[in-house]
């Protein structure tokens, strides 16, 4: 079935009816095809691309159905369906399930929405995203000079209802009980200055619902705190939703970290363009996932003068009936970890619910095992076929695996074998949804992606080149054109045995398995990473390589290699040593 042949709403799992080329993307004609410039650069070449450029793309200047596209271009309907599917899979289309009404935004706002649709997977078009904002309502409560800038930003972005008041009691909760036009799909958010927020204000406005994943659930209301001191700007937590904390528990934790919480309020109410931008960005993240929102229980602090960001997650007290009730005590061993896992699972960036259409759900799950959307234009390096790689030899003991002294031919082949047997398929013929992987993983989807760099030339590339292993093609991808990320990664980790010859980073691709497992993907990614770490230990030492797992690493390492926050997690870091025999340390 084509993506334009179903009549249900895309958010409910079925496919929309009408499509157009994504606004905000730039098509650059070249001699043998065309290049699409946007958040990701795509190049299509060949006679078919030339025909597509000259005869089909001009018809996608507005929303059209399959029938309209076939009639407009004189192309057979079956071929139109194939073209549309290819363009949609490449992320070049906006799709809707009904004609767009006259209230759709225009100009730079809608172009920005369309250009950045890749960061908002809940929406298939800029008009759908804008419709959610248009049906949403925000109440800004605080000093007038403080909220004026936020108000202007929200109105310009297209939020349907924006109310302003200096005191909570000046805004009746029912005043923004429904968004523009009374829509039940809009989100309701109260944004309150720190000095005014207390338990009574949260109870006055909050109307909890199921835990938020990326979007605030429809027909619910939350209360977002913001504040400013001489030393910092503060955004969060988001009170009133599952997974957050109550104001009393938050103030208790704030007092421990920063002192008197009353200091968070800046009585001057002076305008602050930076704070306005930070608060507006978080509001739009909560309402429409324009960027991944912070966890509900998180306090994000931006320290002056360089706006350095730090994030704190506050846990509830054991005796607090307004939070998680019988949840773990933040001060007891294990309490913080249990609460962190709970909150992260609730606020994971990913699908909010399983796919409603079973056939489409099966296709999405299968595609996760056979396709990768990472680094589409980066150079690839072919590795020796799995059948031609050296085999590890050893025995399973309480110390994992001891090498029997055999050595592979060279470090390149040894590393290729480690990558393949840790995160790849057992043979070239096995690659696919039902293919046999060396390492067990949830749904056989292989959620662990391996990054690596070496202090010596590897696979014909210079030292300090950062690679990612592509399991579906058994290839290496050069992730960065320069060496800065690799050098930072090697400095960010310390090993008892000294600097390793090869640094391997195990990354859990949460978004990949979320296509099948939804919100449970975060826990599964951790489990998959544990299996991969054990396999890496067995294979590396079985090949005669030395191995050590790092006990800790720099908190900025994930940012240095450009991991996507909320979609990818850095689960483990290992060092490989080119030694004759070794005993592995436990991961």
Q: For each of the chain's 587 residues, which pLDDT tens digit applies?
A: 344 544 433 333 344 478 888 887 888 888 888 888 876 777 888 888 888 888 888 888 888 888 888 888 888 888 888 888 888 777 788 887 765 554 445 567 777 777 767 666 667 777 778 888 888 888 898 888 878 889 988 888 888 888 888 888 888 766 655 444 334 456 788 898 888 877 777 777 775 444 333 345 555 568 899 988 877 889 988 887 766 788 888 888 788 777 765 554 555 556 788 889 899 989 988 888 777 777 777 888 888 766 677 888 777 776 676 665 433 344 444 444 444 443 333 333 333 344 445 565 566 555 555 555 566 667 888 888 888 888 887 665 545 555 555 555 588 889 999 999 998 887 665 554 456 788 877 777 778 999 999 988 888 888 888 999 988 888 898 887 677 788 888 888 989 888 999 999 999 988 878 777 777 788 888 889 989 999 999 888 888 888 999 988 888 888 888 888 778 889 999 999 986 444 444 34
pTM of the model: 0.49
Instruction: Tell me the domain boundaries of the chain.
Output: 10-97, 135-346, 358-577
Residues 324/326/330/333 CA torsion (nearest 10 deg): -140
The structure tokens listed for 449 are 């992606």
Please name the fold of domain 10-97.
Answer: Outer Surface Protein A; domain 3 (3.90.930)
3-state DSSP helix/strand/coil % of the chain, to nearest 5: 35, 20, 40
Q: What letter does residue 40 receive in the DSSP assignment? A: S
- Separation of alpha carbons 336 and 482, rounded Å: 38
The Cα–Cα gap between 470 and 142 comes to: 50
Distance CA 300, CA 307 (A): 11
Q: How many CB atoms lie within 10 A of CB 213?
A: 24
pLDDT of residue 363: 60
**Residue 228 host element (H or E):** strand 221-228
**How is residue 458 annotated by DSSP?**
B
- What pLDDT does residue 401 have? 53
* DSSP at 212: P
Q: Which pLDDT does position 500 carry in this prediction?
A: 93
The CATH architecture assigned to 135-346 reads 3-Layer(aba) Sandwich (3.40)
Helix or strand or coil: residue 272?
coil
Query: CA-CA distance, 231 to 263, in Å (whole number)?
Result: 10
Residue with tokens 């098509």: 27
CA distance 121 to 214: 10
Torsion of CA 197, 176, 108, 18, to 10 degrees: 130
The predicted structure's pLDDT at residue 147: 83
- Residue listed under structure tokens 């200055």: 193
> Can you identify the CATH homologous superfamily of domain 358-577?
NADH Oxidase (3.40.109.10)
CA 151 to each of CA 218, 256, 271, 367: distance values in angstroms, whole numbers, following the listed order:
22, 33, 12, 42
Rounded to whole angstroms, the Cα distance separating 224 from 191 reads 5
d(CA 243, CA 298): 10
> 486 near 542, Cβ under 8 Å?
no
CB of 71 closer than 8 Å to CB of 89? no
Residues 243 and 318: beta-carbon distance below 8 Å:
no
- 53/30 Cα distance (integer angstroms): 10
Q: How many CB atoms lie within 10 A of CB 319?
A: 9
Per-residue pLDDT at 419 = 93
């Amino acid at each position: 079935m084509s993506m334009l042949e179903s009549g249900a709403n895309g958010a409910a799992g079925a496919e929309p009816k009408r499509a157009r080329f994504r606004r905000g993307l730039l098509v650059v004609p070249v001699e043998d095809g065309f290049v699409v410039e946007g958040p990701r650069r795509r190049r299509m070449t060949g006679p078919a691309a030339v025909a597509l450029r000259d005869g089909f793309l001009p018809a996608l200047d507005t929303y059209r159905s399959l029938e309209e596209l076939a009639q407009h271009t004189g192309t057979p309907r079956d071929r139109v369906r194939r073209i549309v599917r290819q363009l949609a899979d490449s992320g070049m289309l906006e799709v809707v399930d009904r004609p767009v009404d006259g209230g759709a935004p225009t100009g730079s706002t809608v172009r920005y929405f369309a250009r950045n649709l890749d960061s908002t997977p809940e929406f298939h078009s800029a008009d759908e995203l804008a419709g959610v904002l248009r049906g949403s309502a925000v109440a800004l409560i605080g000093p007038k000079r403080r909220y004026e800038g936020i108000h202007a930003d929200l109105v310009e972005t297209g939020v349907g209802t924006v109310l302003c008041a200096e005191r909570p009691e000046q805004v009746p909760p029912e005043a923004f009980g429904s968004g523009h036009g009374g829509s039940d799909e809009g989100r309701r958010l109260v944004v309150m200055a720190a000095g005014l927020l207390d338990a009574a204000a949260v109870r006055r406005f909050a109307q909890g619902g199921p835990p938020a994943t990326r979007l605030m659930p429809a027909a619910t209301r939350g209360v977002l705190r913001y504040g400013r001191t001489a030393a910092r700007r503060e955004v969060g937590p988001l009170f009133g939703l599952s997974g957050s904390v109550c104001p009393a528990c938050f103030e208790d934790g704030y007092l421990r970290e920063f002192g008197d919480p009353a200091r968070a309020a800046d009585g001057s109410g002076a305008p602050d363009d930076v704070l306005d931008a930070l608060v507006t960005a978080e509001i739009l993240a909560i309402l429409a996932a324009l960027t991944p929102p912070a966890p509900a229980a998180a306090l994000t602090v931006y320290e002056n003068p360089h706006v350095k960001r730090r994030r704190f997650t506050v846990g509830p007290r054991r005796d607090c009936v307004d939070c998680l009730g019988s949840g773990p005590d933040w001060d007891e061993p294990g309490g913080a970890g249990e609460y962190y896992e709970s909150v992260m699972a609730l606020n994971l960036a990913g699908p909010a619910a399983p796919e409603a259409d079973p056939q489409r759900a099966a296709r999405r799950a299968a595609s996760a095992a056979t396709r990768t959307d990472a680094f589409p234009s980066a150079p690839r390096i072919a590795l020796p076929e799995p059948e031609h790689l050296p085999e590890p030899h050893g025995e399973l003991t309480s110390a994992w695996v001891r090498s029997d002294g055999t050595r592979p031919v060279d470090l390149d082949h040894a590393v290729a074998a480690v990558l393949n047997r840790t995160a790849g398929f057992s043979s070239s013929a096995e690659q696919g949804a039902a293919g046999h992987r060396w390492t067990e993983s949830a749904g056989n989807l292989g959620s662990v992606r391996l990054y690596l760099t070496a202090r010596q030339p590897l696979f014909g590339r210079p030292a300090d080149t950062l690679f990612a292993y592509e399991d579906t093609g058994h290839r290496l991808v050069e992730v960065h054109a320069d060496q800065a990320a690799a050098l930072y990664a090697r400095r960010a980790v310390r090993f008892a045995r000294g600097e390793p010859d090869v640094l391997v980073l195990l990354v859990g691709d949460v978004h990949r398995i979320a296509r099948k497992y939804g919100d449970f993907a975060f826990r599964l990614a951790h489990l998959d990473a544990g299996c991969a770490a054990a396999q890496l230990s067995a294979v590396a030492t079985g090949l005669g390589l030395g191995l050590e797992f790092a006990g800790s690493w720099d908190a900025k390492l994930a940012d240095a290699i450009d991991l996507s926050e909320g979609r990818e997690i850095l689960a483990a870091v290992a060092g490989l040593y080119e030694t004759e025999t070794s005993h592995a340390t436990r991961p």
